[in-house]
Amino acid sequence: MGYDLAMRVWRGDADGGELRDFTVEVEEGMVVLDAVHRLQATQANDLAVRWNCKAGKCGSCSAEVNGKPRLMCMTRLNLFDPGETVTITPLRTFPVVRDLVTDVAFNYEKAEEVPTFAPGRPTGDDGHHRMQQVDVDRVQEFRKCIECFMCQNVCHVLRDHEDKKKVFAGPRLMIRYAELEMHPLDTNDRRDLLREEAGVGYCNITKCCTDVCPEHIKITDNGIIPLKERVADASFDPIAALGRRLRRH
Ligand code: FES
């Protein structure tokens, strides 16, 4: 059954913009992205919106819906009361390109700073690498990240302190570091980088990132806290520090 949906959508660009009201005819079973597409098709042909898979897997369609970061393609309209206005705004932490599209280049620039996977010599007698299933599972959780950047968007260090973007990479990148640092076959040591360049110490464990992750990655408990512990071991334990220094020589 169809009904009229009241929508309020942010329109504008880097120079500024405003919320505009629309009424869009929608049908039962539609998601927010469907309503945006209907709006685009019928009333606002030039509305900029980023999307790709429409299956919650590409991470492109993140926006703030009624003030909460969501994947628009996975947010059903029946989540809202009929008659309630659905307000859609771009992710606040990143600069607006146009309408609902933001420039998320910051995340890719930070990703370039992370040393890549560097496997050591094969651990098996047959020349193959071997690792325990428990290690596979640990790393696999982090690899579920779809780079929707909603965790970056809600992280108050990045959201409320523009200057901290220079010194803190944010939860998405912490998960990238965790994926590599906790890989038993990897030989790179990123702990100094984590502390000095990625700024792991700036995270104060409010867990807002974990709350919004659409893949339910336990970003704080399984990623950031163990990374903090590893960095603390490396930086503040004199015996561990001496061991690392000796290994380097
Ligand atoms: Fe791919 Fe929404 S369009 S996650």
Rg of the chain (C-alpha set): 21
Distance 59 CA to ligand 1 centre (A): 5
pLDDT at residue 248 is higher than 70: no
pLDDT at residue 3 is higher than 90: yes
Q: What is the pLDDT of residues 97-112, one digit of tens each?
A: 999 999 999 999 999 9
Distance 186 CA to ligand 1 centre (A): 31
**pLDDT band for position 249 (cuts 50, 70, 90):** low
Q: Is the CB of 71 under 6 A from ligand 1?
A: yes
So what's the pLDDT on residue 155? 97
So what's the pLDDT on residue 205? 95
For Cα atoms 72, 77, 78, give the angle at the middle one, nearest 5 degrees: 140
Which pTM was predicted?
0.91
- Average the pLDDT over 116-123 and give the result: 88
- At which residue do the structure tokens 């512990």 appear? 229
Q: What is the pLDDT of residues 13-67, one digit of tens each?
A: 999 999 999 999 999 999 999 999 999 999 999 999 999 999 999 999 999 999 9
Longest CA–CA span in the chain (Å) reads 72
How far is residue 245's CA from residue 243's CA, in Å, rounded to a whole number? 5
Distance 60 CA to ligand 1 centre (A): 5
**pLDDT band for position 121 (cuts 50, 70, 90):** confident
Across 72-76, 218-222, 235-239, least confident range: 235-239
What percentage of the chain's residues is helix, strand, coil (to nearest 5)? 40, 20, 40
Long-range contacts for 232-235 (Cβ within 8 Å, ≥24 apart)? 234/189, 234/191, 234/192, 234/195, 235/191, 235/192, 235/195
Other Cβ atoms closer than 10 A to 145: 21
So what's the pLDDT on residue 125? 83
- Average the pLDDT over 115-144 and give the result: 90
Q: Which of 32, 60, 70 to mutate to test the pocket of ligand 1 (most atoms within 8 A of CB)?
A: 60
How far is residue 119's CA from residue 232's CA, in Å, rounded to a whole number? 24
Per DSSP bridges, beta strands 16-27 and 101-102 are unpaired
ipTM metric: 0.99
Q: What is the DSSP letter of 223?
A: I
How far is residue 194's CA from residue 230's CA, in Å, rounded to a whole number? 10
Mean of the per-residue pLDDT values of the chain: 94
So what's the pLDDT on residue 90? 98
